[in-house]
Structure 1
Amino acid sequence: MKLLRFGSPGAERPGILDGDGRLRDLSGFIPDIAGDALLPKNLDRLRALDLGTLPLVEGTPRLGPPVGRVGKLIGIGLNYADHAAETGATVPPEPVVFLKATSCIAGPNDALPIPRGSEKTDWEVELGVVIGTTAKYVPESTAMDHVAGYCVVNDVSERDFQMNRSGTWDKGKGHDGFGPLGPWLVTADEVPDPQALRLWLEVDGQRMQDGSTATMVYGVRFLVHYLSQFMTLHPGDVICTGTPPGVGMGQKPPRFLRPGQTVRLSVEGLGIQEQRTVGA
């Protein structure tokens, strides 16, 4: 299934794409795509629906993030060896974990604000993992049982704030709009191997990132297991699994975003995002 949320910010309604790619309204069956709606039994209820009987949504409404009320937006740093190399870092012996403020979450095509005083706002296409059942101290062998599905993430980062402002990475990761999700939450049954997905990003039509989740240092299964040793993962939590090479700070010379540019990105099978950068 391809689940999504549509409507104005803060008032999104749940939807689903039918077999012809048309948007159908799910609000008669679930209040939102959030929390317990992501439990396996409730996803099974949605699978059993005759989508042709659901109200058809006309036009092209705004798409919001495909998951509502995200409790934790968890980032994994330096999870592609070639990306670590381009930034001058070494591959960590364990996953680097940071949290992005949930207030940074945006729709896939919303405007992307460049923070005031920013000179190094950067892009990062990533595979997002959406948790479907509570995970605490889970073994690696059963970790995938806790995954509801996947989505595209742009882990937007302000590199100067991230690295030079006397703190952890969080200062450069949490500005409003720095966490576009979507367009869809694609359920796990439609992604047989999350470690075999192409992902790419373009700025003003120029391909900057072009990689594969096959080159992750730590894969999805391990990350769910690993994170559950340090924090309880709840339905609707989202894990941003790291980015392949081609970020702005890795260019020679470095290149960063400025207002008036267009960023497009995708993960294979999960849809396309497009953001226009604006001044905050």
Structure 2
Amino acid sequence: MSAAGSAAKQGRVLIIAGSDSGGGAGIQADIKTVTALGGYAMTAITALTAQDTRTVHAIHEVPAEFIALQLRVVLEDIGADAIKTGMLHRADIIEAVVEALEKYAPDVPLVVDPVMVAKGGASLLQPSAAEALRTKLIPRATVITPNLPEAEVLSGMKVAVEADMAPASERLLQLGPQAVLLKGGHLPGDALVDLLRDSRGAQRYSDTRIDTTSTHGTGCTLASAIATGLAFGLSLRDAVAQARSYVRKAIETAPGFGHGHGPLNHAHTVTGKA
């Protein structure tokens, strides 16, 4: 049996995502999050980006076969207690990832963050990859974590008000994941509402909105925090609650770097500056 098949929950999180040279999102945010929550982060990098707080300036491709190799060697040697995917921008990458997970980590919890657009507006998913994401990766997920624009693409329905979130989450659940965490950050108003739906029903989470531009990488951070909770054996609902609390404090104590959407304070659990 490979290390990936171990029953022990040791906090090992394998992240499959793109690199953010600005450090606020992507692999960099993922590693910081897993580490700050006491886990052990490993990576399979799917793309290199020249990115700052304002936009993605360029993307350098990583061949799908090399991504698959990263997955194989890490899973065969170290193993994983949870896996998180982020930027998977081409159909062949998604197919390679699915094939590797089926072969080396079929029973490991999988958090899928269906990254489509960067905070600055740059597209991070080729149109041809959306169908592969919908039909090949999402059905394997323990939970998917779309924001509202991503949910609209995946579900084919408009999500403009909170009342739209319930039917949208139901439609997304029909794609095959075990659960859907629909993030309501794009809704207007002072309340920030997320909706978790699984076979047990729906759980609504609500907080007051924080007035800040330091929101770069929130989706990456939340998904990795959920994966870390699962990697330590938490239930999904407990992992989501812990992750939301961690992200909120990271936003509240953000350092204020950059001239666009600034990064979070991922290290607030470590430095005590919160």
Same fold flag (TM > 0.5): no
From the CA coordinates, give the structure whose radius of gyration is larger: 1
Higher helix residue share: 2
Q: Which range, TM-score by smaller chain?
A: under 0.3
Higher strand residue share: 1
